[in-house]
Structure 1
Amino acid sequence: MSQTYKAVLFDLDGVLADSAREHYAAWKRLADELGLAFDEQKNERLKGVSRMASLDILLEDAPRSYSDAEKHALATRKNGYYQAIIQKITPDALLPGARQALEACKALGLKTSLASASRNAPLLIDRLGIGPLMDFIADAGAAKQSKPAPDIFLMAAKGVGVPPERCLALDDAAAGVLSAKAAGCYVIGVGDTDILAAADAIIPDIAAFDPKSCLD
């Protein structure tokens, strides 16, 4: 990295916490109710995309088309299932090294901002007990376009008053990496090197993230 960064923008699911099982359970319940096939492979395609885009993927093999009103009703139903599940989430759902990464950022004077595609992010942050470690949580519901558009990362940067080019972004999904790149951030992919090839750098997990590198 050739410059000093002033803020770190975090994706949530897959970077700081793992609620993939909860998302899968909620989508699977909806798919079962609709008589549609839904497995782990299809679930992978939902990673990092909006709720409505995820629903479109779920409905790809549906025997009939659904109106916009029906789709919104289905998305609301799925979200109800998910919210009921995450009420039981505790700080134990934080991935190893997540809290330490946030604490290290704060100790170094780096701003921290959340750039999650999930509209449930504020609830999750509260349940995970890391609200005090976040300077700003971007409102996914206010983003005109979801990832891979840059909207959510631009909002996350603006929320902490730091230009995107002075922000380092962490995301575990291809759509998230493209979103942060389009916003102008330096992007660290978290996870699979093949999926995250567009990132500026890749680490295996949040435990491998060294915030001091932002100051080099």
Structure 2
Amino acid sequence: MKMPKGFLFDFDGVVVNSFESHHAAWASAFYELFKKDIPPFPLQMAGKSPMKIANYYCSTINREENTEKLYYLKDLHLDKNFTIPKLLPGILEITTFLRKENIPFGIASNATKQFLKNSVTALNLNFTKVFGVEDYKHPKPAPEAYITLAKALGFTAEDFKKLWVFEDSLTGITAAKSAGMNPIGILTQYSKEALLNAGSSLVFPTVLEAYHYLLKN
């Protein structure tokens, strides 16, 4: 196997586990706005843009007109009460290797830019190219996020089929596949079968196993 020309990373569920940070911000913002407890987060919303998630939560109480208010309030709560997310296995190993080998890599996430910057700084990560939901007109599952990152890393459309994209959500896998790239599934929340059916070329428990696979092949 030839080494891929570049590596594109989703953030939540691939680089870090930040579910509790996000959920706490959604819950406190929802309560501040509606004086109600937030309903459970459904798996089918995983990887969606924050605006779509805000719309979902508002729809559960027939208050869709407050979607933008909840979106911006959640962002404020997330920034104000920022907690460092948990780094997932393999990220330091693979990014150190990629930097040493001069192989381009970066992050394209549906999370907000400020949260990404705060997290990358707090965890002292190797990522220098980081794109958040504000950087796209059409967030995932549209391909724009990964196309934007790939171009920023210096790749052309002819290179896309030689890029690996680490994703843990069906939303993100759809985005990578639509961009003509190679989605690599990470088993954070979906089963191996679900990730393969969505279009993943390979599936690994974490990025660490993917890194070991690359070294062996």
Q: TM-score, normalised by structure 2?
A: 0.85
Q: Distance in 2 between matches of 1:135 and 1:184?
A: 23
Counterpart AA for 1:18? N
- Per the alignment, residue 123 of structure 1 pairs with 118
- Per the alignment, residue 49 of structure 1 pairs with 48
Closer/same/farther in 2, CA of residues 64 and 19 from structure 1, 3 Å limit: closer
- Per the alignment, residue 184 of structure 1 pairs with 180
Retained in 2: the 8 A contact 1:55–1:71?
yes
Q: Deviation of residue 44 (structure 1)? A: 2.9
Question: Is 1:155 equivalent to 2:166 in the alignment?
Answer: no
Counterpart AA for 1:115? A
Counterpart AA for 2:122? R
Written as runs of structure 1 = structure 2, the 5 A alignment for 1:71-86 is 71-86=67-82
Retained in 1: the 8 A contact 2:55–2:64?
no
Identity among equivalent positions (%) equals 23
Q: Deviation of residue 193 (structure 1)? A: 1.2
- Per the alignment, residue 59 of structure 2 pairs with 60
Specify every segment of 5 or more residues in structure 2 that has no aligned partner in the other structure, as ranges.
Answer: none
Written as runs of structure 1 = structure 2, the 5 A alignment for 1:192-207 is 192-197=191-196, 198=198, 199-207=200-208
Retained in 1: the 8 A contact 2:109–2:133?
yes
Closer/same/farther in 2, CA of residues 195 and 82 from structure 1, 3 Å limit: farther
Q: Deviation of residue 122 (structure 1)? A: 2.0
Summarize deviations over 1:128-181 as a string: whole Å, max 9, x none.
Answer: 211xx2242224312111111000000110011123222110011110011011
RMSD over aligned Cα, in angstroms?
A: 2.2
The residue matched to 1:210 in structure 2 has which SS?
helix
Deviates most, 3-12 or 170-179: 3-12
The residue matched to 1:169 in structure 2 has which SS?
strand
Q: Deviation of residue 5 (structure 1)? A: 1.7
Size of the aligned set, in residue pairs, is 205
Specify every segment of 5 or more residues in structure 1 that has no aligned partner in the other structure, as ranges.
Answer: none
Q: Distance in 2 between matches of 1:127 and 1:195?
A: 33
Q: Distance in 1 between matches of 2:209 and 2:168?
A: 13
Retained in 2: the 8 A contact 1:108–1:212?
no
Q: Deviation of residue 6 (structure 1)? A: 1.2
Retained in 2: the 8 A contact 1:31–1:38?
no
Question: Is 1:9 equivalent to 2:8 in the alignment?
Answer: yes
Closer/same/farther in 2, CA of residues 175 and 48 from structure 1, 3 Å limit: same
Counterpart AA for 2:21? E
Retained in 1: the 8 A contact 2:6–2:103?
yes
Summarize deviations over 1:68-117 as a string: whole Å, max 9, x none.
Answer: xx32222111111111232x317xx2112221121122223211111111
